[in-house]
Amino acid sequence: MRPFYTMLLALALVVLCSDVATKVVTANGDGATATVTPMDCKVLPTIPGICNPKKCMEDCQGGIGRSSVGECVSDGCQCTYCTIPPRGRRN
């Protein structure tokens, strides 16, 4: 029975840690959603207008780089890009 509990613990750790590398969407009191972005990612101001998902993605990647993501939001197209965090100094 011990391997079962070990696997269960491993699964719980994976589930808890998996949100570190992804964008987390949480519900607030009004039922709307708020996006929490990791510290090494930047969200640029929304480009207003009607949004086409494919064009939004192409525009963001063309203007910022292949590591950026374009996503349609209620106001228009929003670009997000992430950078590799700097390594800490070791003593």
Q: Is 90 a domain residue?
A: no
Q: Is 35 a domain residue?
A: yes
Q: Is 23 a domain residue?
A: yes
Q: Is the pLDDT of residue 77 over 90?
A: yes
pLDDT reported for residue 5: 58
Q: Is 22 a domain residue?
A: yes
pLDDT tens digit string along 20-75? 444 444 334 444 555 555 557 888 888 899 999 999 999 988 988 888 899 999 99
Structural domain count of the chain: 1
Q: Is the pLDDT of residue 83 over 80?
A: no
Burial of 28 (0-12, 13-18, 19+ CB in 10 A): exposed
Q: Is 21 a domain residue?
A: yes
Q: Is the pLDDT of residue 76 over 80?
A: yes
Would strands 33-36 and 24-27 be described as parallel, antiparallel, or unpaired? antiparallel
Q: Is 55 a domain residue?
A: yes
pLDDT reported for residue 4: 64
Domain that holds residue 47: 2-82
Q: Is 65 a domain residue?
A: yes
